[in-house]
A and B are shown apart, each in its own frame.
Chain A
Amino acid sequence: MKIKGSQKRNLGLILSLIICLLSLSGCWGKTEVEELAPLIGVGLDLGKKPGTYLITQQLARPKQGGTTAAEVEDRTFSIEASSAREAYEEVYKISNRIPFMGSLKVIVIGEDAAKAGFNDILDFNQRYSEFRRSMFLVLVKGEAQSFLNLKLRNGQLPAMSIKNHMEQGENLSTFPTVRLGHYLTVLGTKSTAPIIPVVNSIKSGKGGIEYKDGKNGEEIQIQGAGVLSGDRLVDFLTDKETKGYMWLENNVVHRLINTVGIGESGVNFGGQVLKSTTKYKVKDNDGTIELQYQVKASIAVDEVMGLKKQLSEAEWIDLMKVAEESFAKEIEEECLLSLKKQRELGIDFLGIGRHIEQRNSAYWKTVKEQWQEKIVDFPISLDVQVTIHHAGMSSGSAMTN
């Protein structure tokens, strides 16, 4: 009887505790979707007052009557504030919606803010739990605010368009896709300088690009990159220098490449990189430590220009060997441009110090304190090997001999 009474008491207590639990599991922190303003892009510029930033927030509002959920209206605010939280407070006041940070895809850093250093204002994005480190970082020549306020021809928000470009990045492999997490990891290495891609707006008729209905909006492209020392922008890389960086960093997945202007052969080739691998070797040449890059690329030729006659089977094989050499030269040229820039800047954005540390840590310990000086003339060699897998659906020229 005593046991039964005790069990009943236990049961009663447990039930009452469960009821308490259920009544407690209320709605703290719950926000209806309609009350949220999804944040898609953030722009960082310097404010007019010293110590302030102009923080542009690109919020999306689902379009009423839109055919898909992806259709959104632009709601972009720029706030001059001394901290990110202050800027969000102002946006909250204006929009009457809670900015939802978990949807942030892109941070656009304006040139001036990048030159002044931006880690302080970026701290919120890596600390507050709603953000994801998978968001992309891009630099813009000029102001981030102007860029995020662009009207694009396809009707997309600039931030969404950048995100889409970045996600397709590996199909071109002409610029690095830098996520916040990657940037922070590189910063943590101390010896390697971060690099962030540059996004540009393209006006019709400029840079050899023309498009219809230019008045209805602009187009954007990602080309080149900015080199940073810590969190400060030092210089920009050209398109070719950035492409060289991509080879040397083993970042090329697929690439469209041509050999126009390479070598003395009258025949030029265009092709697509099917696969590429870059390996690093630290060699000791009679007491001199050297880093050797070994780039191996598989390419499919899909354009042959300047070929005036039909070739025999043997001649075609020889021509493909010429193509291999020409592509290798092109790749080498891009790599050398990147290496030259690194020496000029005296900043190790290629991560050469890390490669040495990984492969010869004993030697690295002897040079790491003077690395900044060493990087200017550190011995580096390149070995580029290209294999042509095929030349598409035909061989020879369409012209007869």
Chain B
Amino acid sequence: MVERISPHQFMILGSAVLMGTTFLPIASMVTGVSGRDGWMTVLPGFVVAIPYGLMVLSLLSRYPSKNLLQISEIIFGKWIAKIIGLIYILITGYFGGLLLAQAGDIYERSVMPLTPIGVFYLGGLLLVFYLVNSGIEVFARFSEVIFPGIVIALILNMGLSIPRVEQGELLPILSEGLGPLFGGGVKVAPFAMEYILFIGGLLTFLPTSRKELGQLKTGVWRAVFLVGILNMLVVLMQILIFGPTETIRLTYGLLVLGKMVEISRTVAGVESLFLGVWLGSLVIKISAFFFTVTWGLETVFNLKGLKWNLAISIVFMAIAFGFVRGASLFAEIGFVDNYLILPFTSVWIITLWGVSRWKKGAGVQ
């Protein structure tokens, strides 16, 4: 029986994948490029996902129950589609492994410095493996349970940090003009493209009736604005509290904020609770990329099943162990985001959608 997820599940799952752990590095990233006004670049950067998401859904309406790799084969032919598929597998597989390495980095760096980093990799991967083997429906339900917790933890972390706000750190606004904002937007756009890569493979599990297609489109809008606004607030709070110079310097500024939370001068150390919840967001994001690799292997090489999932797990672990040096990991994630995911996804989707439209207009099947 073919698995299906509802439009609501699509919205929540999409939000959770789009969110991932973007809230941890985003402030440092955008402030580094756009300075004090970095917070303004976050929402526009995420909004890039809307036109791309709508293009993907319009392809779904034309080619129901087919993912973007299958659609590419119909439109571009077998061999070009295979090359695209191979790139898709390599990029998402490599990035998934890097995200697993990031899970280790986050926990080792912030709360459990003496635990061997491999334990974080293995622990995270076991959860991911379980979710992937359980199928997309279970994954969607997992997201429905975990995502609200992630959002609540974020809001609590930010809300409880309000007493630490410094005077006037947000001012002056736009003192350097609009130019630096573009750079910040470009830094955020790869997050949107990661989401597009995921929903490109998810298409086979989405309903295709006219009403449900409308709901899916609304789901894209809602996911993007929810995640974009939350991330914008995360950046805003960090600039307000740390000032731009410190915001850039802090690796995971939100965790530092969590450490500064004190409730009635009595309760402190709540950052560990937040980190516990955010493990869920890491697992969701890594699972999403694990899924994309399995979909790619199945579509391009017809390889599926438990042994291939095990093989992917081994590859993920190998990549993670290759990046135990945190500084190299950040550089590599940045490289994959900016120079692989962003150009590949943006060009692929536009071309696919454009050629599909042209073929439809020209009456070519």
Contacts and interface: CB of A to CB of B under 8 A. Distances in A.
B129 to A, nearest CB: 7
Given A188-B243, A354-B168, A361-B172, A17 B129 contact: yes
B112 A29 contact: yes
Nearest to A14: B130
A129 B260 contact: no
B126 A21 contact: yes
Interface in A1-59: 6, 9-10, 13-14, 17-18, 20-21, 24-25, 28-29
Given A29-B115, A188-B245, A358-B168, A9 B306 contact: yes
Contacts of A167: 265
Contacts of A182: 166
B168 A21 contact: no
A361 B170 CA distance: 13
Contacts of A9: 306
A24 B119 CA distance: 7
B328 interface: no
B133 A14 contact: yes
A250 interface: yes
Contact of B133 (A10, A129, A359): A10
A343 interface: no
A381 to B, nearest CB: 20
A18 B134 CA distance: 14
Interface string A179-190: 001101101111
Chain B at the A interface: mostly helix, strand, loop or mixed? Answer: helix
Interface string A353-379: 011011101101100000000000000
A169 to B, nearest CB: 12
Interface string B242-258: 11111001000001100
Instruction: Describe A's contact surface by its main secondary structure.
Output: helix
Given A10-B306, A134-B262, A20 B115 contact: no
A350 to B, nearest CB: 12
Contacts of B169: 185
A129 B172 contact: no
Nearest to A28: B115
Contacts of B245: 185, 187-190
Nearest to B247: A188
A358 B119 contact: no
Nearest to B134: A14
Given A181-B242, A188-B246, A358-B172, A17 B259 contact: no
Contacts of B244: 188
A362 B269 CA distance: 42
Contacts of B133: 10, 14
A365 B175 CA distance: 10
B306 A24 contact: no
7 contacts: A14-B133, A21-B122, A21-B123, A24-B123, A28-B114, A132-B259, A185-B242
